[in-house]
Amino acid sequence: MTHDITVIEKGSVVSPIGFLAGATYAGLKTYGEDRLDLGILTTEYSQSQVHDTRAQVTAAGMFTTNLVRSPSVTLSQSNIANGAARAIIANSGCANCCVGQQGLSDAREMADLAGGKIGIDAKEVLVCSTGIIGVELPMALIRSGIPNVKLSRDGGHEFARSILTTDTKTKELAVSFTIGGVQVRIGGCAKGAGMVHPNMATMLCFLTTDAAVSPDVLETALNHAVDRSFNMISIDHDTSTNDSVLILANGAAGGSDIQAGTEESRLFEQALESVCISLAKMVVIDGEGATKLIEATVKGAKSIEDARAAARAVTSSNLVKSAVYGNDPNWGRMLMAAGQSGAYLEESKISLYINDVCIVDNGLPIPYFKEAVVANMDRPEVRLLIDLNLGDISATAWGCDLSEEYVTINSAYTT
């Protein structure tokens, strides 16, 4: 993060002005010690200092590309299509996926109930579900749970806990920075793609800001940030049925709407990107069985597509991931992964560095001090740099190593 962007201590999704959150245990999640499984996040619309020229709280979202998807995703996509939304209701324990038409009815009822509780239209509510695929939402538990959610200005941490499944910790962050003389904030929380239990697979991220942002600027900034953060991480090469990243902007900090193409929009994009990258890295390092974060940067590419494809391929390869787990500077696997990525490259021009130590220069291995590199890989973050030496475009991807524990977790059904 640059010096212009300050991390807020113990920040959360309610760090931006005018947001409320809360959570309860409705009884959906049958595992985990610290159970909360139903959360609501909203803006204090009626009392807010929302910029009075704008009646709406703007919103933007990005969703899974999997053709098998939860009706909760379908409903949220529909409700956010107009660039506006005021609340999110999320449950963990059940993904509301592969349950036919009932899933859409249940998602609608969740939006209805949350809207009624807050006093807004159901169409202004987004719904997210994560957990087991193929069982219907226990709506009786959700109906009786919603009244127990206490919305408050310090409910952010509880909300962050309520969306977890097999995650071992919450992922939260908030930052503040100044735009056009006005101090604004961005807050966020996320959950990872933990899958200890059968049929569980979801990455969720909820973002809030009190900056005044028009829908188009918000959508552009979210796309920009997600392409450089959540779309650049991989735990196990599998795309969930429920992935969603949502942002609500209530303008409560005051000031004029950020306009497209301005220095202000560039600064907002940059801040949102930094928040998303931090949360994405938290998701990866808490990946199932993960012991290390792998950061792979590809530079010198001819296009951003090439740079991203090669960087993602390196962090997604089972062979690279296993090698990093074993502190093995196995550069051949890294070149193999880049070579099969679809990115254009020329073997004779590639240089490769592990934790800043050059291992391959212009396609040829150099006599590096192997013992030192092995010792250096035995730490929580391993950095790989591949220079294609063809252009000036770069991209960074993040992944985790692959340990025996990953397999144990994901094959544990019968034990």
User: What are the φ and ψ backbone dihedral angles of 15, each rounded to 5 degrees?
Assistant: -65, -40
- Decide if residue 363 touches a second copy (CB under 8 A): yes
- Decide if residue 68 touches a second copy (CB under 8 A): yes
- Decide if residue 81 touches a second copy (CB under 8 A): no
Using an 8 Å Cβ cutoff, are 260 and 214 in contact?
A: yes
For 242, the token pair is: 């429920």
Q: How far is the CB of 98 from a second copy (least distance, A)?
A: 6
- Decide if residue 130 touches a second copy (CB under 8 A): no
Question: Residue 350 burial (CB < 10 Å; 0-12/13-18/19+)?
Answer: buried
Q: How far is the CB of 248 from a second copy (least distance, A)?
A: 28
Count of residues that bind a second copy according to CB under 8 A: 69
Using an 8 Å Cβ cutoff, are 124 and 87 in contact?
A: yes
- Nearer Cβ to a second copy, position 181 or 367? 367
Residue 215: enclosing H or E segment and its boundaries? helix 215-228
- Quick one: which of 13, 85, 207, 360 contacts a second copy (CB under 8 A)? 360
- Quick one: which of 69, 157, 185, 292 contacts a second copy (CB under 8 A)? 69
- Decide if residue 293 touches a second copy (CB under 8 A): no
The single residue listed with the structure tokens 């996926």 is: 97
- Nearer Cβ to a second copy, position 22 or 71? 71
- Decide if residue 62 touches a second copy (CB under 8 A): no
Strand, helix or coil for residue 322 = helix
Pairing of strands 293-301, 6-7: unpaired
- Decide if residue 25 touches a second copy (CB under 8 A): no
What is the arrangement of strands in the sheet containing 58-63, beginning at the earlier edge strand?
6-7, 171-179, 182-191, 204-209, 244-249, 58-63
- Decide if residue 267 touches a second copy (CB under 8 A): no
- Quickly count: other Cβ atoms within 10 Å of residue 295's Cβ: 19
Nearest to 18 by CA among 57, 72, 75: 57
Amino acid letter, 415: T
Q: Which residues are catalytic?
A: 202
- Quick one: which of 13, 20, 175, 338 contacts a second copy (CB under 8 A)? 338
The DSSP letter of residue 153 is: T
- Nearer Cβ to a second copy, position 42 or 241? 241
- 202-241 footprint of a second copy as x/- string (CB under 8 A): ----------------------------------xxxxxx
**For a second copy, which stretch binds (CB under 8 A), given 33-41, 244-252, 261-269, 357-365?**
357-365
The single residue listed with the structure tokens 């993040």 is: 398
- Decide if residue 372 touches a second copy (CB under 8 A): no
Strand, helix or coil for residue 361 = strand
- Nearer Cβ to a second copy, position 112 or 328? 328
For 28, the token pair is: 């959906």
- Quick one: which of 348, 356, 380, 392 contacts a second copy (CB under 8 A)? 348
Q: Which residues contact 81 (CB under 8 A, 6 or more apart)?
A: none
Q: How far is the CB of 141 from a second copy (least distance, A)?
A: 20
For 302, the token pair is: 């001819």
Of 383-402, which residues contact a second copy (CB under 8 A)? 402
Of 35-54, which residues contact a second copy (CB under 8 A)? none
Of 297-336, which residues contact a second copy (CB under 8 A)? 316-319, 322-323, 325-328, 330-333, 335-336
Distance, CA of 298 to CA of 344 (rounded, Å): 12
Please report, as ranges, the residues that interact with a second copy according to CB under 8 A: 65-69, 95, 97-100, 132-135, 195, 198-199, 201, 236-241, 316-319, 322-323, 325-328, 330-333, 335-340, 343-348, 350, 360, 363-365, 374, 402-404, 406-415
